[in-house]
Chain A
Amino acid sequence: MDSKNQPSKTVYAKTVKPPVIQIGPIGWIRKNLFSDWFNSVLTVITVIFLIKTVPPLVTWAFVDSLWFSTGAECHEAGGACWSVVTGNFRFIIFGFYPHDQHWRPFLAMILLAGLLFYSQNRDHWNKYLAYGWILGLFLMGLLMKGGILGLDTVESTQWGGLPLTLILSIFGLTAAYPMGVLLALGRQSRMPIIQSLCIVYIELIRGVPLISLLFMSSVVFPLFLPEGVSFNNILRAQVAIILFTAAYIAEVVRGGLQGMARGQYEAAESLGLNYVQTMRLVILPQALKIVIPPSVSILISAFKDTSLVVIIALYDLLKTTQSTLTNPEWMGFSAEAYIFVAMIYFTCCFFMSNYSRRLERELNRSNR
Chain B
Amino acid sequence: MNQENLKNDDALQSREAVIEIKNLHKWFGEMHVLKDISMTVRKGERIVICGPSGSGKSTLIRCINRLEEHQRGRIIVHGVELNNNMKNIEKIRADVGMVFQHFNLFPHLTILENLTLGPIWVRKVPKKEALDTAMYYLEKVHISEQAKKYPGQLSGGQQQRVAIARSLCMKPNIMLFDEPTSALDPEMVKEVLDVMISLAQEGMTMLVVSHEMGFAKSVAHRVLFMDFGQILEKNTPKEFFENPQHERSRLFISQILH
Q: Which residues of A contact B (CB under 8 A)?
A: 261, 263-264, 266-274, 277, 281-282, 285-286, 289, 366-368
Contacts and interface: CB of A to CB of B under 8 A. Distances in A.
A281 B107 contact: no
B121 A266 contact: no
B94 to A, nearest CB: 5
A282 B93 CA distance: 17
Contacts of B166: 271
Contact of A271 (B102, B107, B117, B152): B117
Contacts of A281: 117, 121
A288 to B, nearest CB: 10
B258 interface: no
Given A267-B100, A281-B117, A367-B152, A272 B170 contact: yes
Interface string B146-168: 00001011000000000000110
A270 B98 contact: yes
A281 B96 CA distance: 21
Given A263-B104, A269-B65, A270-B167, 19 more contacts: A264-B104, A264-B106, A266-B104, A267-B100, A267-B105, A269-B67, A270-B93, A270-B98, A271-B117, A271-B167, A271-B170, A272-B94, A272-B170, A273-B118, A281-B121, A282-B117, A367-B108, A368-B150, A368-B153
B51 interface: no
Contacts of A368: 150, 152-153
Contacts of B132: none
Interface residues of B, number: 26
Which of A264, A272, A281, A368 has the most CB atoms of chain B within a 10 A radius of its CB? A272
Contacts, number: 64
A210 to B, nearest CB: 34
B67 A367 contact: no
A359 to B, nearest CB: 14
A263 B108 contact: no
Contacts of B170: 271-272
Given A266-B100, A281-B121, A367-B150, A274 B107 contact: no
B90 interface: yes
B122 interface: yes
13 contacts: A263-B100, A263-B104, A267-B106, A268-B106, A269-B93, A270-B65, A270-B96, A273-B117, A285-B108, A286-B107, A289-B108, A367-B107, A367-B108
Contact of B108 (A261, A268, A271, A286): A286
A271 B100 contact: no
Given A269-B93, A271-B93, A273-B122, A366 B150 contact: yes
Closest 5 CB pairs of A and B: A267-B104, A271-B118, A263-B104, A270-B98, A272-B122
Interface string B82-111: 000000001001101110101011111000
Contacts of B121: 273, 277, 281
Contact of B90 (A261, A266, A274, A282): A274
Interface in B42-65: 65
B97 A270 contact: yes
A267 B122 CA distance: 13
A267 B105 CA distance: 7
A268 B109 CA distance: 13
A286 B105 CA distance: 12
A289 B107 CA distance: 12
Contacts of A273: 117-118, 121-122
B72 to A, nearest CB: 22
A281 B121 CA distance: 10
A354 B96 CA distance: 46
A347 B116 CA distance: 43
Contacts of A267: 98, 100, 104-106
Contacts of A282: 106, 117
Nearest to B93: A272
Quick one: which of A271, A286, A366, A368 has the most chain B CB within 10 A?
A: A271
A170 B117 CA distance: 33
B143 to A, nearest CB: 18
A286 B108 CA distance: 7
A368 B93 CA distance: 30
B221 to A, nearest CB: 24
A105 B120 CA distance: 45
Contacts of A264: 104, 106
B168 to A, nearest CB: 12
Most-contacted residue by chain B among A263, A264, A267 (CB, 10 A):
A267
